[in-house]
Amino acid sequence: MNNLKQTLRVLRSKMKLLAIQHTEYIGITVALLLLLIFPPIIRLYDPTAAPIDAGALSGILLAVVSVLIFLSVTWWFIRAIWPVFAEYSNTDFTTDFKNLQPWQKIKIYMGFYSFVVLAFLAALVAIL
């Protein structure tokens, strides 16, 4: 019995650590579950509601895949054309980033996030 309690305690701590480290996976999982649960629930209120179009969902998935391919190819080009930058990014960028002022970090975060969102939207528009 003691061994079982200890095992459960370890599993609980690992799950908490996993949840803290990988919160994006929790969001993706919740979104997918809502996607699966939503059609039957909406039909309780509106029996004429149509199911979600699989073509629209595949368009979103294709946009995500194309953005990931774009980022991979871009990184491949950077390593091929400008290897010094790739080496700097792998070795020194983290320490330099930690030494920046908070407002500089926010500008970099927002710039990167805006780039990713715009890349996703551009891929989605190109596909649809």
Q: Are residues 58 and 117 in the same domain?
A: yes
Q: Are residues 84 and 27 in the same domain?
A: no
Cα 13–Cα 19–Cα 25 angle in degrees, nearest 5: 150
**Per-residue pLDDT reduced to its tens digit, 72-127:** 888 888 888 888 888 888 888 888 888 989 899 899 889 988 988 888 888 888 87
Tell me the residue range of the domain where 103 lies: 53-128
Taking the complete model, does pTM exceed 0.85, yes or no?
no
Q: Are residues 61 and 123 in the same domain?
A: yes
Residues 6+ apart with CB under 8 A from 49: 39, 42, 43
Instruction: Say whether 1 sits in a helix, a strand or coil.
Output: coil
Most confident of 13-17, 22-26, 99-103: 99-103
Q: Are residues 112 and 62 in the same domain?
A: yes
Q: Are residues 11 and 64 in the same domain?
A: no
The rounded distance, in Å, linking the Cα atoms of 14 and 63 is 33
Q: Are residues 33 and 75 in the same domain?
A: no
Task: Share the mean pLDDT of the chain.
Answer: 79
DSSP run (H or E) holding 99: none
pLDDT interval class at 51 (50, 70, 90): confident
Total domain count, the chain:
2
Q: Are residues 60 and 40 in the same domain?
A: no
Q: Are residues 80 and 25 in the same domain?
A: no
Instruction: Pull the structure tokens for residue 106.
Output: 């926010």
The residue among 119, 94, 87, 121 whose CA lies nearest residue 108 is 94
The rounded distance, in Å, linking the Cα atoms of 99 and 95 is 7
Q: Are residues 23 and 63 in the same domain?
A: no
